[in-house]
Each structure stands twice: as C-alpha cells, then as structure tokens.
Structure 1
Amino acid sequence: MKLQKTVNIKNKKASFEYFFLDEYTAGMVLTGTEIKSIREAKVSMADAYCIFHRGELFVKNLNISKYDNGTYYNHDPLRERKLLLSRKELRKLEGKLTDKGLTIIPTRLFINDRGLAKLDIALAKGKKLYDKRESIKEKDIKRDQERF
C-alpha cells in the first residue's frame, strides 16, 4: 500500500464530451474506507454525474473502489455521495438545470492541503459530433504551435 502525496484524479472523458459553462468546488460526505481508497487513487469518474434530490446535490456512479484492508466496515463502491456546497450555489445550479441539455458532471477529484477530499464539478452542455471534431482540430493546432 503506497499512498500518494498528492491526489489529482481527472475526468478526461468529460472535456471531450461536454462544454463547461460554470465550475464549482464541492466537499464530499465520505466514510473512513472511502477516503483511504481515494488517497490510494482508486477512483473511476468515467460515468459519474450529479443529481438534485430534495434540494441537495448528490454524485452518482462515482466508483471509489473498496479499501483492500477494510473489513465488514467497507463501503459500497457506487453509492450516492452527498456534495457540500453553499445554499446560494445550490440554488443557482438548480435554477440553471432547468435549461434544456444541461447537466452537472464531476471533472476532478483531489485532496486539498488540509487533507479533505474535494470534487470539482461543472455545469456542462453536451457536444455534438461536429463540436468534438472541432475540439480535436484545435488541440492538434495548439500542439503543432507549441512544437515550433
């Protein structure tokens, strides 16, 4: 078991599939074995998304693997986890979700300098196929310019 000094897990698929409109940093309500798995960087964010339930924001399908040394106290890897944001931010996000085609997706999971797990989430709009091609084209042009 080797713990990393910095944990910075990114959702690479998200930037390819969505345009980011607004970004927020949220805390997470976790159990003991979940934070230990996060410190070992055993997290998959590929299919994760956020939903509102009774005025609170939850992240679904965020796969935090079971802790190897956990006993019967181990957590369910795909359970819904509550996100901690201010009321003002929650109201703003919930109001914007009424627009067609918008969703909230996690973009990055990290541990801050105080040792707390934080999740960067983004209000996002899905890209069409031609938008994805345009993004690939822009990345190639940027990479070519950096070479010279």
Structure 2
Amino acid sequence: MAEKKTNSLISFGNVAKNRKATFNYSIIEKIEAGIMLKGPEVKSLRNGRATINEAFAGERDGEIWLFNSYIPEYQGGVLSKFDPKAPRKLLLHQKQINKLLGSITREGMTLVPLDIFFNSRGIAKVSLGLGQGKKKTDKRQAIADRDWKRDKARLLRNKV
C-alpha cells in the first residue's frame, strides 16, 4: 500500500494574516475577493511565503487593486521572474465595487486586507475589511483590555 506523501504546501487555509489591521482599524464590514495571480505567485503563496502587513487596497481606473503586498519569487522554477510588490487586481462584482468606492470617497473609510487564504476549491482569496482608523485612546483601551485578559488568565491558572 502506497503512503500518501505530505509536503509543506498549503492546500487551503490561511497563507498570510495582517495582525495589526484589527488593532489600527475598527472593522465594520468584511468582504471576500478573488485575486488575480500568475502561476509562480500561486506556487509561492502555496509555500506560505507572503506578507500583507503593510498592504492596502485602493481604486485604480474604477477597479479595486491590492497595493504593497509582498509575494516573494518562487524558487522552484526557472521562469518565475515577477515583481514581488506589484499591484494585484482584486476580483469583485461591479455592485460591490461601486459600494466600496462610495464608502471610501464619501465616508472616509479604508479598505484593509485582513488575510490571504485558499478556499476549499483551492482558489486564492483576500479578505478585505472596510473600516475606520482608531484614535490613540481607542488603541490604549485595546491594550489595557488585552493586558487584563492575560493577567486574569494567569491568575486563574495559578489559583487551580
């Protein structure tokens, strides 16, 4: 009986996560969008080597694009030359694009990429958050709440 070979490739699940997004922004709505990638970019994503910590989504020519995301070059192939920080087009319905562009321009909202993942069909997706920037006092309150939860868990763990 042949054993199934396992490798470090990600078939579906999270590839990259923007951990600071929820700290810097209060997320009001989440949107899932497809992302246009080339073959070597998909292979590099499957290796789990992408970062979106400094990425943002914005408008260009009436479409939504992902800017400043870093997907490194795929090391396994010969023809894998591409710009790691190139803007990548996000795939949304026109109705969704119009709604997002209206929120960005009129209400002063921001589109923040929350994570890149592969869905159950193996298609790369980006989870976008429509949010407003937090003020410094809100961030301080979030830090205080996080510290209190950690201390409370430590006290309960030591008590038992």
- Letter of the structure 2 residue corresponding to residue 2 of structure 1: S
Q: Which residue of 1 aligns with 2:8?
A: 2
Q: Which residue of 2 aligns with 1:106?
A: 113
1:35 pairs with 13, 31, 42, which one?
A: 42
Distance across 2 between alignment mates of 1:54 and 1:96: 17
Post-superposition Cα deviations, 1:98-127, rounded to whole Å, max 9, x if no partner, equal 135421010011001100001000112111
TM-score by length of 1: 0.91
TM-score by length of 2: 0.84
Post-superposition Cα deviations, 1:70-125, rounded to whole Å, max 9, x if no partner, equal 32342210111110111111111011011354210100110011000010001121
Structure with greater proportional strand content: 1
- How many residues align structurally? 148
- Letter of the structure 2 residue corresponding to residue 69 of structure 1: G
Distance across 1 between alignment mates of 2:108 and 2:137: 17
2:28 is equivalent to residue 21 of structure 1? yes
CA RMSD of aligned residues (A): 1.8
Q: Which residue of 2 aligns with 1:139?
A: 146
Q: Are the aligned partners of 1:11 and 1:106 in contact in 2 as well (CA < 8 Å)?
A: yes
Distance across 2 between alignment mates of 1:25 and 1:113: 14
State the identity %.
Answer: 39
Describe the SS at the equivalent of 1:43: coil
Structure 1 segments (4+ residues) deviating >6 Å = none
Alignment of 1:34-113 (within 5 A): 34-99=41-106, 101-113=108-120
Shift of 1:16: 1.2
Describe the SS at the equivalent of 1:113: coil
